[in-house]
Every structure is written in C-alpha cells, then in structure tokens.
C-alpha cells in the first residue's frame, strides 16, 4: 500500500485493532522504510487544513495519521482526497489593489495514499469504505513473541543487531526513490469474480483489483 503511492489510484489503509496491540508500531515501521520526503505524519488534523496545502504537497505522498480520532474533523477532506484524487476550495479574500472582495481558488493535487490507525470499530462507514481495512494479530502466541523480542532487544546482542538497522533502512528508502509509476495490466481480470450482493462491492472490488 505504501509503494502504491506512486500509482494513479493508490491503496489507503485503515489499521483497526485494540489499544496496545501494536497498530501504530506496524504503521510507523512500514513508513520507516519509505523516503521521509514522501511521508507526511500528523497527530491531528483540523477540518479545512488539507484544503490549504501546497498544490503538489500531497501528490504521490503518504498521509499518515496516528489515530482516526485526531482526524474526525477532516473526514470529509480525506474521503474526497482518496476518491477524487484532489481537493479544491474557493475562499473570499480582499483584493489588496482595489480593496474589493474577490474569490481565490486553491487546488491540492493527489493521488495520495492515506494511512490511519484506530481502536474504533464504528468508524464512519462513508470514511471506512474508502480504505483497505486490516488488523493486528492479537493472539497469545503473538504476544509471547513480542515479549521475547522486547527482552532480547535489551541484551548486548539485541543492541548490536539494532545498530545494524540504519544502513538497511536507508537501502529500502533509496530503492523506493528509484521507483517510477508504470502501467499495470491484469490479462485475467475479466475472469475474476466478486460478491455482487452488496452495494459496497462497487467500492470494494477496485481496492481488490488494485
């Protein structure tokens, strides 16, 4: 999904899981491998903030929000950014030359991949339908594995291993800097099937195909 930011119709992801499961860690680790210049991480977002971004500031970028609750006011803007691939606002301003009121248009271009984490299973359906929804493994076995890793990280071997991560992360970032959008076709697309008993399928199938 993160790499899909390069495409015309990127995949946006909503990570839904319980508090403490590691959803933010999953998101942050994924974004750590992406070039910093392609990632916009925010804790909170006001209703009209995205409408006033620079024209190309979100184009082929990842917009990442740590918690869905911090972006409730901006849900409308996020939905339109994903669906329409751009945001357009027209505001009234005073012409400094004539003193008269006039209108000014601001256009923010996408496409943009949006990443959001949440503990709320009742996310607004209109917003949720734009996302590929995934979750975290909350099993006891996974908890055991995480606790083991946390303990190992405090040993000398763990500290040494962690120190080797920076070159690996930089290699991932440099690799992604080389990526260019290409046309992708699936010669078998017409042979695929998808459930047609729900209206929501009209939005879900394109995510599946992408």
Confidence (pLDDT) at 71: 80
**Structural contact between residues 70 and 45, judged by C-beta atoms closer than 8 angstroms:** yes
Sheet holding 13-16, edge to edge: 39-42, 61-65, 112-118, 13-16, 132-134
Q: How far apart are the C-alpha atoms of 138 and 129, rounded to whole Å?
A: 24
The string of DSSP letters for 85-127 reads SEEEEEEEEE-TTT--EEEEEEEEE--EEEEEEES-TT--HHH
Confidence (pLDDT) at 178: 95
Confidence (pLDDT) at 210: 82
- Which residues lie across from 117 on neighbouring strands? 15
Q: What is the pLDDT of residues 171-200, one digit of tens each?
A: 999 999 999 888 889 999 999 999 999 888
Spatial CB neighbours of 122, under 8 Å, sequence gap ≥ 6: none
- Does pLDDT of 68 surpass 80? no
Return the closest-CA partner of residue 134 out of 117, 122, 153: 117
Confidence (pLDDT) at 38: 96
**Structural contact between residues 92 and 41, judged by C-beta atoms closer than 8 angstroms:** no
pLDDT, mean of residues 42-63:
91
Least confidently predicted of 12-16, 98-102, 109-113: 98-102
pLDDT, mean of residues 102-113:
90
Confidence (pLDDT) at 105: 86
- Does pLDDT of 63 surpass 90? yes
Residues in the chain: 210
Return the closest-CA partner of residue 57 out of 77, 75, 39, 34: 39
CA angle 80, 85, 87 (to 5 degrees): 55
pLDDT, mean of residues 81-97:
87
The dihedral of CA 148, 150, 156, 162: what is its sign?
positive
Q: What is the pLDDT of residues 108-151, one digit of tens each?
A: 998 999 999 998 888 888 888 899 999 999 999 999 999 999 99
pLDDT, mean of residues 61-67:
91
């Amino acid at each position: 999904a993160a790499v899909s930011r390069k495409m015309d119709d990127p995949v946006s992801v909503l990570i839904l899981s319980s508090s403490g499961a590691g959803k933010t860690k999953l998101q942050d680790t994924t974004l750590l491998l992406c070039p910093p210049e392609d990632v916009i991480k925010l804790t909170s977002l006001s209703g009209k903030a995205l409408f006033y971004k620079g024209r190309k500031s979100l184009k082929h970028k990842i917009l990442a929000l740590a918690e869905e609750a911090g972006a409730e006011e901006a849900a409308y803007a996020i939905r339109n950014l994903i669906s329409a691939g751009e945001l357009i606002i027209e505001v009234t301003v005073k012409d400094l030359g004539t003193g008269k009121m006039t209108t000014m248009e601001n256009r923010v271009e996408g496409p943009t991949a949006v990443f959001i984490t949440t503990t709320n299973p009742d996310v607004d359906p209109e917003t949720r339908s734009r996302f590929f929804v995934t979750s975290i493994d909350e099993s006891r076995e996974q908890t055991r594995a995480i606790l083991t890793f946390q303990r190992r990280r405090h040993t000398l071997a763990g500290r040494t291993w962690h120190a080797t991560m920076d070159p690996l992360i930089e290699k991932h970032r440099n690799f992604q800097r080389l990526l260019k959008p290409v046309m992708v076709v699936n010669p078998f697309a017409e042979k695929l099937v998808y459930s047609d008993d729900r209206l929501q399928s009209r939005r879900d199938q394109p995510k599946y195909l992408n």
